Amino acid sequence: MTPIVRPSPAVAAALAESRPVVALESTIITHGMPWPDNLAMARGVESLVRENGAEPATIVVMDGEVRVGLDDGDLEKLAQARDVLKLSRADLAYGVSSGRTGSTTVAATMIGAHLAGIRVFATGGIGGVHRDAETSFDISADLDELARTPVIVVSAGAKAILDLKKTFEVLETKGVPVVGYGCDELPAFWSRDSGIATPIRLDSPEAIARFQATREALGIDGGMLVANPLPQEHEIDSATIGSWIGQALADASSNAISGKAATPYLLKRIFELSQGRSLASNIELVRSNARLASAIAVALASR
Ligand code: PSU
Ligand code: MN
C-alpha cells in the first residue's frame, strides 16, 4: 500500500535525524503569484531555508498523495500547471481521492505538516475574516485550523485585503496566540503597521521556541501565529496600498467574485493596479518569513 502522506527522501532523512524542517505552502505558487515569478519565488525560498539551516518541505497534492517536499522538476511543473485545485480542510481528502493536482492553502498545509511531523511553516499571510463577512459569511478556514492543529505559522500577519481587526479578534476567541515578532503593532502584510496592538511580543526565535514548549507542557493544543513585519525597505505605505485594495474590492464586487476565487482575484488585481509593486513586496515578505521560520525550527530542534 502506498502511504497517503509521502515525504521526499530529503525531508524524510531530516525528520528521522530530528533536524530542523520548515513546511511551505503551494497555493501561493499556483493561485497567489503569476508565472514565472511564482517559480523564482518558490526556488528562492527553498534555498533561503537551506541557507538558514533547515530542510524545506513544500506541500502539495499530486497523484493521490500528499507530497511533503518537492524536487525542482515537480516545483516547475506545479508553477506552470493549470486547473489546480485550491485545497483547504474541507476538500484536502477530495484532492487526494480524485487523483487531481491540488495546492494546499495555509489550512491544508498545516494538516500535511502535522501529519509528517513538521512543527514550523512559513507563508506570506494567512486568510481571515473578509471585509464583507457580515453579509458574505466569508471567513477563511485558516483560522479554525490554527485553533486545532499544532503548527507554528510564520506570516506577515493576515492579508490586508481582509478586515484585520475582526481577523485578530476571531483568533483570540479561538485561543490562537498571535505573536508579534519584534513589533508593538501587528503587521498588515504589505505594510509594517496595522494600528492593532501586538497581543504577545517576542524578540527572538529562542523565545518563540520556549513559548511553544511551554504551551505543550501545559497541554494547550492548536497552532500559533507569528506575525513578522516585512523589512522596511520593501513596505508599501498604507495609504497607497489602501487605495489599490479599495479599487480591487470594488472590482471584485462588480464582477461578483466570491468564495475560493476571492483572494486570488484580489491579489491579481492589486498586482495589476500597483504595476507589480505588490508582488515585489509579497515576495520579500515571504522570504523574510522563511528566514524567521528556519531560525525557529533550528531553535526548536536544539531544545
Ligand atoms: N500568502 C500569500 N499569498 C497567498 C496565500 C498566502 O502571500 O496566496 C494563500 C494561502 O494559501 C492562504 C490563502 O491560505 O491565500 C487564503 O485563501 P482564502 O482567503 O480563500 O482562505
Ligand atoms: Mn474564503
pLDDT single digits (tens) 48-77: 999 999 999 999 999 999 999 999 999 999
User: How many angstroms from the chain centroid is the CA of residue 125?
Assistant: 5
pLDDT, one tens digit per residue, over 75-87 is 999 999 999 999 9
Ligand nearest to the CA of 136: 2
Kindly state if the Cβ of 145 falls inside 6 Å of ligand 1.
no
* Residue 114 in this model has a pLDDT that exceeds 80: yes
Contact, 60 vs 26, CB < 8 A? Answer: yes
* Residue 123 in this model has a pLDDT that exceeds 70: yes
pLDDT, one tens digit per residue, over 161-193 is 999 999 999 999 999 999 999 999 999 999 999
Compute the distance between CA of residue 12 and CA of residue 66 in angstroms, rounded to an integer.
14
How high is the pLDDT of residue 3?
82
Its sign, for the CA torsion 278, 281, 283, 288, is negative
Would you say 141 is a known binding-site residue?
Answer: yes
Mutating to test ligand 1, I would choose from 103, 104, 126 the residue with most ligand atoms within 8 A of its C-beta, which is 126
Which structural domain, as residue segments, surrounds residue 256?
Answer: 5-302
At 201 the three-state DSSP class reads strand
* CATH for 143: 3.40.1790.10
When pLDDT is cut at 50, 70 and 90, the band that residue 263 belongs to is: very high
Compute the distance between CA of residue 24 and CA of residue 96 in angstroms, rounded to an integer.
18
Q: Domain total for the chain?
A: 1
**Closest-lying ligand 1 atom to the alpha carbon of residue 130:** 19
